[in-house]
Amino acid sequence: MEPGSSSTEKFYRIPKGKGPHSVGCTDLMTENAVEGSFLRLYYPSCNATDNEEAPWIPDKEYYQGLSDFLNMYRVVGERLFQYYVGSVTCPAKSNAAFKLGEKYPLLIFSHGLGAFRTIYSAICIEMASQGFVVAAVEHRDESASATYYCKKKSLSEPREESTSSLEKEWIYYRKLKTGEEERCLRHKQVQQRAQECIKALNLILKINSGEEVTNVLNSNFDWNSLKDSVDTSRIAVMGHSFGGATVIESLSKEIRFRCGIALDAWMLPVGDDIYQNSVQQPLLFINSEKFQWADNILKMKKLSSNDTNKKMITIKGSVHQSFPDFTFVSGGLIGRFFKLKGEIDPNEAIDISNHASLAFLQKHLSLKKDFDQWDSLVDGIGPNVIPGTNIDLPPAEPE
């Protein structure tokens, strides 16, 4: 259907940023194939009336990967996704000019299992609208439903310095093999993911210092405009689910991340060594009501015991899929059936999560903003939020 012609169009909309800045986004992939970085950057932009909104899911291969992840036939999954979300755009202007004039704090974002760089746009766009530069990493550890790198076509063909000399090499989600121990695989993957977050951080800082970076995706975005625009003393890391575990692993490995936010973290991948005081930085756990279980919460508590800078809150009526964008682009019936929607309005759930995140970031990055108006949420005070967890935990054993 043509946008605007459908009566359902207005319901299936990823929310716009509510902050004072317009938001642009652009994709960046560095060279050296699979070891390079791949990310979508969301940033405060000039008001770009001519620029189109960015596609939400940019390639059909992502539909195929989602089909694999959901155990659907690819041909069926691809058709369904194309029909339901093929025309969805995210409310950020593609390759809009970067807004100069201030130094912005930097947020590195890590996606969940079976996800990829574009499907947390509601969170990333809100953060960018509030004055953050957000680098949403696409992980190549075979935990994304699909991702790719660009490789040169065979040497027999003439080499040109354009995308035509490159082809996409797709990497799909890897299922567990029969008899394979999940913890072992996920621990290996989370270490690669943390390295990819650190690599993305180094890349943005390199661009910030004025170094030339080759983007193999050939967009018309001016990367030089980022020079001296990132506040290198104010850097944080954020992620959902497997991305929450990645936040913890990244904090333990990289002191330049001054704090972290773990959305409904899945703690299985986190190595035992991490619990021995290796996360010094402030950390906020924002949990959904329906996903968590005692063992997972106990691991979070073990990490945060006796540290007042480590906080945990739970959003009432929310589900694990209240954080990615699918919650906004699915109708009520489909949304509930596939557990993409909880009992709480998706917009309200994401607002609570974003506001608590902003208040936490203001405190621990020493920002001069008005995000402290939401400080009470970080303590679990307010409608639809509780401090700590809704999960019944076994009584603590005496030391």
**Beta strands 310-315 and 385-387, pairing class:** antiparallel
Residue in 241, 252, 304, 357 annotated catalytic: 241
- Could you tell me the two tokens for 373? 């108006």
* Residue whose entry in the numeric block shows the structure tokens 């509601």: 122
Q: How far is it, in rounded angstroms, from Cα 237 to Cα 132?
A: 12
- Could you tell me the two tokens for 207? 């661009």
Q: How far is it, in rounded angstroms, from Cα 360 to Cα 373?
A: 11
Beta bridge partners of 40: 27, 136
Residue in 68, 141, 231, 264 annotated catalytic: 264
Is residue 278 part of the annotated active site? The answer reads no
Angle at 206 between CA 194 and CA 283, to 5 degrees: 35
Is residue 231 part of the annotated active site? The answer reads no
Residue in 111, 139, 240, 320 annotated catalytic: 320
Is residue 241 part of the annotated active site? The answer reads yes
As annotated, the active-site residues are: 241, 264, 320
